[in-house]
Amino acid sequence: MKNLIPALATTVALVSFSTIAAANEGPTNTHGFYVGGNYGYLKLDGDDDFDQDSDHDIKQGVIGYRINQYIALEGSYIDFGHYGNDVTSAKTDGYTAAIKGTIPVGNRVELFAKAGQLWYSTDYSVASYSDSSDDTGVFAGAGVGFKVTDNFLLNAQYTWYDVDLDAKSATDSSSTHTNTDFNQASVGAEYRF
């Protein structure tokens, strides 16, 4: 009995110290690669005919690298879909590169913001004339992520894209420059390796 009490006390102390040490190690999975996808709603705001009947779906594939739990570099392919009307219509897709900042709020919630560069291509049709244009723009967004597990997250986000379209018509060879904003509200998933 005299040997049992010190053995139990030693065991309890070791378990307590190891539990405290594990709790103080901080978050796990703070850096590395991740992949994801977003699906949502796109609204166009512009000074042209392309923004009519423009509320539709948007699809995006994402790959990134978390430098630490606060900063990540992210790239994506995004399909903005078809928009316009019977006379003027267009389809835009492109690639993005961004820096993403994350602030953990508790163990399961993260707030994030990102900003970067968009490279995009637009195939358009004005009356019976069709052409395409390539351009670049900037974008910024913010959202919230919910950790289902340490590796799998669900998110909701809003992103604004500054997009310009240089369109020609069959009767006018000069380019018509229009300033259009793409506004994306989407939900998505992310898997961290």
Query: β-pairing, 129-147 with 56-66?
Result: unpaired
Evaluate whether 124 touches 131 at the Cβ level (below 8 Å).
yes
Specify the CATH class of 30-192 in words.
mainly beta
Query: Distances from the Cα of 115 to the Cαs of 20, 36, 78, in angstroms?
Result: 38, 17, 15
User: What pLDDT is recorded for position 84?
Assistant: 74
In which region does residue 127 sit, left (phi positive, over 0), alpha (psi from -120 to 50) or beta (all else)?
Answer: left
User: What pLDDT is recorded for position 133?
Assistant: 84
CA atoms within 13 A on the CB side of 127: 6
User: What pLDDT is recorded for position 126?
Assistant: 76
User: What pLDDT is recorded for position 160?
Assistant: 96
User: What pLDDT is recorded for position 151?
Assistant: 94
User: What pLDDT is recorded for position 29?
Assistant: 72
Across the chain, which has 193 residues, the per-10-residue mean pLDDT values are 50 45 55 96 72 73 97 97 78 95 95 97 82 90 96 97 71 60 94 95
What is the b/e burial string over 88-111, where b = at least 16 CB atoms within 10 angstroms of the residue's CB? bbbbbebebebebebebeeeeebe
User: What pLDDT is recorded for position 140?
Assistant: 97
Nearest CA among 74, 70, 79, 72 for reference residue 62: 74
User: What pLDDT is recorded for position 3?
Assistant: 54
User: What pLDDT is recorded for position 89?
Assistant: 78
Q: What is the DSSP letter of 2?
A: T
For residue 65, give both structure tokens: 């690298």
User: Domains of the chain: which residue ranges?
Assistant: 30-192
